[in-house]
Amino acid sequence: MRTLVLGGIRSGKSRWAEAAIAESTGAGQPVHYLATGASPDGDPDWSARIAAHRARRPSDWSTVETTDVATQLRSQIATPTLVDDIGGWLTAVMDRRGAWARESVGSVTGDVDDLIDAVGAFPSPLALVSPEVGLTVVPHTASGRRFADELGSLNQRLAGLCDRVVLVVAGQPLTVKEPSRAESRR
């Protein structure tokens, strides 16, 4: 089953996704954790956030810090996987492609299509964590609006592929989409 977990900053979406993937695999089972957030350079707040995420993970989970999520998904097809988070992945792609300006529209399409293909083909349990857009003011900067546009489009495509979509608000999961009974028995 593929699950997309959406939420705002500090909504509890990562914690909820970690519990959901652990529940779907059973206690003590390995999980491949793909962390897309860049390691901090001199940012104590970001370092503390990453440390808190690391401390929550069970010791039998393998962690890979990467922005090459599609390749990782293709190489770990037998292992339940959690990707945290899609917004971090998109930020890295936009940085790599120099895609922050409006005139760069379309420059991340190949990367996004590659991710979508890898997610669609992934046969094991998969949880994807992503920030939901539109829960705040429209970004004041062109690059902020560009990111929101790209992430909103990507979230919609991922939601179409996923069996279950959950929006986490104040730590509480709200089911947006769930599989039918026949689909959940597979």
**Which residues participate in catalysis according to the annotation?**
53
166: amino acid identity, one letter: V
- β-strand 164-169 against 126-131: which pairing, if any? unpaired
Report the distance separating Cα 108 and Cα 139, nearest Å.
20
Report the distance separating Cα 93 and Cα 87, nearest Å.
10
Report the distance separating Cα 165 and Cα 177, nearest Å.
5
Handedness of CA 11, 52, 96, 122 (dihedral sign): negative
Residue with tokens 């909504």: 11
Confirm if 148 and 139 have CB atoms less than 8 A apart. yes
